[in-house]
Amino acid sequence: MEDVKIVADDLYFIQQPIRTGWFCGITVVLGADKIGLVDTGFENTPVDYIFPLIKKLGRKPESIDYVVNTHRDGDHVLGNKAIKEKTKAQIAIHKLEAEAVVTADVKLIDGNVVELGDRKFKVIHSPGHRPGSICLYDQANRTLITGDSVCGERTDLIRMDKAIYIRSLKKLLDLDIGILVMSHPFKPLGKSIVVGNDIKEMIVASIGIAENLK
- Return residues touching Zn ion (CB under 5 A): 75, 148, 183
For the CB of residue 33, give the shortest distance to Zn ion in the complex, in Å.
Answer: 30
For the CB of residue 42, give the shortest distance to Zn ion in the complex, in Å.
Answer: 11
The residue among 75 and 97 lying less far from Zn ion, judged by its C-beta, is: 75
- 150: CB partners within 8 A, 6+ apart: 169, 172, 180, 182, 186, 202, 203, 206
For the CB of residue 70, give the shortest distance to Zn ion in the complex, in Å.
Answer: 8
Nearest-angstrom CA–CA distance, 137 and 49: 24
Closest residue to Zn ion using C-beta atoms? 148
The residue among 10 and 148 lying less far from Zn ion, judged by its C-beta, is: 148
Nearest-angstrom CA–CA distance, 182 and 149: 8
For the CB of residue 39, give the shortest distance to Zn ion in the complex, in Å.
Answer: 8
The residue type found at 61 is P
The residue among 9 and 156 lying less far from Zn ion, judged by its C-beta, is: 156
The residue among 103 and 139 lying less far from Zn ion, judged by its C-beta, is: 103
